[in-house]
């Protein structure tokens, strides 16, 4: 009985071994190279993806509405920017917390030296090389001045098939609008008008980030691990522009990884001032105050209603900082 079962087991094992495929390690790469290059060339026919073109166009429109809305709100809500670090504060009176770390992060727990902020402090500009298509050759180090630099979000939308005018792509229209705003003295807006503009700006902010998230699922983008350089394309460029001094042995070469939405559309986290917080945020209440993206904080200051998913970050229902009374003897 056991002998018959053993014979059947051996026959099944022998049959499975006969049906196995054997591969030879001797591959003629000279014959495979044209096949691989042909497949790479034919892959470009699948792009841009037609279903993603409306998403890219919506991102371009949302970015335009967001830029115009923030520019209008900056006339009513002051923004303070530190002269020695990237931190900003949205509100009438800048906070007094000692969170400045200087240019090279060599100091800490120092008071800020505030100055007036602008549009670039709220919407952090992120630029990338402008490519005609996503399948063109890599940019060499000696070719870095042969390509224009455009906003990374617009470059992503351009590769996704959105039609973007040159004035918008290269920022000439925004410069023209900014010049007109500086030459004119617009009439002050009513609180209801500011609230509507803030709500529309906040909705455009959410649509922009959602659209960029969807585009990144289809179109590859890279970001350097050691700096904030972004490249929209299959592989990162070869320009040696990494400015991290401790990696000088790499001769400024970038180390690329997959980019996320925060790399193309930075949130710029700032301190959030709640209704039950003091007029000036002080250093002793750092553990009680909340945070919010700069765009969200700017819109909330004029009465817009933020999404509930920011409640945890903003600590809307959190405790107020205890009031420290001066002890007199």
Average pLDDT of the chain is 83
Position 82 pLDDT exceeds 70: yes
Contact 162, 59 (CB under 8 A): yes
Query: d(Cα 173, Cα 231) in Å, to the nearest integer?
Result: 24
Position 2 pLDDT exceeds 50: no
248: its two tokens: 């000088």
Residue 185: per-residue pLDDT: 62
- Strand 221-224, strand 269-272: pairing: unpaired
Residue 172: per-residue pLDDT: 55
Q: What is the pLDDT of residues 161-176, one digit of tens each?
A: 999 988 888 875 554 4
Lowest mean pLDDT among 48-52, 94-98, 175-179: 175-179
Query: d(Cα 189, Cα 145) in Å, to the nearest integer?
Result: 44
Q: Strand runs (DSSP E) across 134-241, as ranges?
A: 149-151, 221-224, 230-232
Give rounded-to-5 percent helix, strand, coil for the chain.
Answer: 45, 10, 45
pTM attached to this predicted model: 0.81
Residue 313: per-residue pLDDT: 93
Bridge partner residues of 223 (DSSP): 230, 257
- The residue that leads in pLDDT, 257 or 44, is 257
Q: What is the pLDDT of residues 263-285, one digit of tens each?
A: 999 999 999 999 889 989 998 88
- The residue that leads in pLDDT, 225 or 196, is 196
29: its two tokens: 């790469």
Position 180 pLDDT exceeds 90: no
Confidence of residue 71 (pLDDT cuts 50, 70, 90): very high
Contact 298, 90 (CB under 8 A): yes
Provide CB contacts within 8 A for 315, sequence distance 6+: 272, 274, 288, 289, 290
Mean pLDDT to the nearest integer, 65-94: 93
Residue 167: per-residue pLDDT: 85
Q: What is the pLDDT of residues 294-314, one digit of tens each?
A: 999 999 999 999 999 999 999
Lowest mean pLDDT among 38-47, 240-249, 264-273: 240-249
Burial class (CB in 10 A: 0-12, 13-18, 19+), 237: buried
What is the helix (H) or strand (E) element at residue 155, kind and residue range?
helix 152-159
């Amino acid at each position: 009985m056991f002998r018959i079962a053993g014979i059947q087991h051996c026959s099944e094992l022998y049959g499975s071994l006969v049906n196995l495929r054997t591969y030879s390690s001797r591959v003629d790469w000279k014959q495979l190279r044209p096949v691989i290059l042909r497949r790479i060339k034919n892959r470009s026919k699948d792009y841009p993806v037609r279903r993603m073109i409306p998403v890219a166009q919506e991102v371009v429109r949302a970015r335009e509405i967001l830029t115009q809305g923030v520019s209008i709100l900056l006339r009513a809500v002051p923004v303070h920017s530190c002269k020695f670090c990237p931190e900003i504060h949205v509100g009438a009176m800048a906070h007094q917390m000692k969170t400045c770390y200087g240019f090279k992060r060599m100091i800490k727990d120092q008071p800020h030296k505030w100055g007036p902020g602008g549009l670039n402090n709220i919407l952090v500009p992120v630029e990338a090389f402008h490519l005609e298509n996503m399948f063109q050759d890599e940019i060499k180090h000696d070719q870095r001045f042969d390509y224009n630099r455009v906003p990374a979000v617009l470059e992503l939308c351009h590769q996704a098939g959105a039609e973007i005018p040159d004035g918008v792509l290269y920022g000439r229209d925004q410069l023209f609008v900014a010049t007109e705003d500086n030459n004119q003295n617009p009439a002050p807006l009513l609180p209801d008008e500011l609230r509507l503009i803030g709500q529309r700006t906040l909705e455009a902010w959410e649509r922009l980030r959602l659209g960029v998230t969807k585009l990144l699922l289809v179109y590859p983008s890279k970001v350097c691990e050691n700096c904030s350089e972004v490249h929209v394309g299959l592989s990162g460029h070869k320009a040696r522009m990494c400015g991290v001094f401790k990696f000088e042995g790499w001769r400024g070469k970038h180390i690329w990884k997959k980019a996320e939405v925060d790399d193309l559309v930075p949130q710029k986290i700032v301190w959030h001032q709640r209704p039950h917080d003091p007029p000036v945020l002080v250093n002793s209440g750092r553990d009680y105050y909340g945070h919010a993206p700069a765009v969200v904080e700017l819109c909330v200051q004029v009465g817009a209603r933020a999404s509930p998913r920011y409640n945890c970050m903003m600590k809307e229902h959190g405790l107020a900082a205890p009031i420290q009374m001066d002890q007199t003897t």
